[in-house]
Amino acid sequence: MRFIKELKVGSIAISGIILLVLGVNFLKGNSFFGGDLEYYSYFENSGQLTVASNVTLNGVVVGKVKKIAYTPNINPKKRVKVTFTINNSDVVLPKGTIIEIGSLDLFSKGILIKLSSDLSKGNYLPGASIPGRLSVDMISQVKAYADPIAQKLQGMMASIDKMVISLSAFWDTTATSEIEGSLKQVKLTIQKLGNVASEIEGFVVAERIQFSRIMQNVEGITSNLQKSNEQITAIIGNTKRITDDFVTADFKSVILDAQTTLKKLNLVLDDASKGNGTLGKLIHDEKLYDELVETNNELQNLVSDIQVHPERYIHFSITGRKTKGVPISSKEEKKLRNLLDSIPD
């Protein structure tokens, strides 16, 4: 009996040790029975990822994070090496798949597998390095969205603070008295507007009779126009008849006569410019012009001499003496005297 009790105690102790080892392996990210496929990825930082965090594919847990280690890599984006396992044999990682560290919910971090849709390049074998990246978590997104708003709110609060200070400086006893004075002025203005409205109302009442008289006169003028409608129609008819006479006038013959006259005038001017005819000879014959001028001068000299010495050309005697000079009749003598009288001094 005593041996059986010791055997039971030993069995319980061995079972506890086995369970402890399996639990520690599970906490490290290993399955109870092993056989998990291991992969690893490099990241710029761990993104607050912890060992034993879940590895998910389309929201389904397919593995665990086994190890997170710092590696002094030259590339700053490969300073953290994350080793993870996949305990689902149906999961295949085609080349082009991305391993992303992100938020699984509001409180926990994990690995999200973003499978590639291109299956022609083959699959990653266990132990292969898969490209990794950090996703923007919800807190970072909220922070990135809230930071500009917070800055704007801070600027707004500063502006409101300045406005409150300005209002506080303005709102003193002097400002209060000025506002009261302004309100009194507004009240007086409203009273004056009421008085003006009353005066306008009285003016409208007084002018209403005058307006009625004007409308009566307009009505009388309209009735007179209606009575004179026939006369106005006759006047319009006469105006139309005069307009028709103007329209039907033989303007064409007048224009043709004017054209004929202009043609004749052009022919005369052409003959004159060519030296033909009396007008042309008078224009172009300088000798004729000089002779006319000379004749005119001699005539003027003759008239002047007759005015000064008429006795040289006209002789008459009352006593019947013998006449000297050129004898002329009484009729010719009268014409000569009229000619001499008509010559201006």
Pairing of strands 109-114, 54-57: parallel
Rounded mean pLDDT, 96-111: 88
**Taking phi first (over 0 means left), then psi (-120 to 50 degrees means alpha), and beta for anything else, what does residue 314 get?**
beta
Cβ-contact 100, 9 below 8 angstroms: no
Residue 35: pLDDT band (50, 70, 90) is: low
Give me the percent of the chain exceeding a pLDDT of 90. Answer: 16
d(CA 108, CA 319): 173
- Residue 229's identity, in one-letter code, is N
Of 157 and 316, the one with more pLDDT: 157
Mean pLDDT of the region 59-74: 89
> What mean pLDDT value characterizes the chain?
76
String of DSSP letters for 42-65: EESS-TT--TT-EEEETTEEEEEE
Among 1-15, 54-68, 212-226, 303-317, the minimum mean pLDDT is found in 303-317
Residue with more model confidence, 39 or 240: 39
Which distant-in-sequence residues (6+ apart) come within 8 Å of 96 by Cβ? 116, 117, 118, 121
- Confidence class for position 174, pLDDT limits 50, 70, 90: low
Average of pLDDT values for 308-313? 66
- Name the residue among 17, 69, 62 with its Cα closest to residue 45: 69
What is the band of 43 on the pLDDT scale with cuts at 50, 70, 90?
very high
The letter for the amino acid at 196 is V
- Residue 131: φ, ψ to 5°: -55, 140
Q: Whole-structure pTM over 0.85, yes or no?
A: no
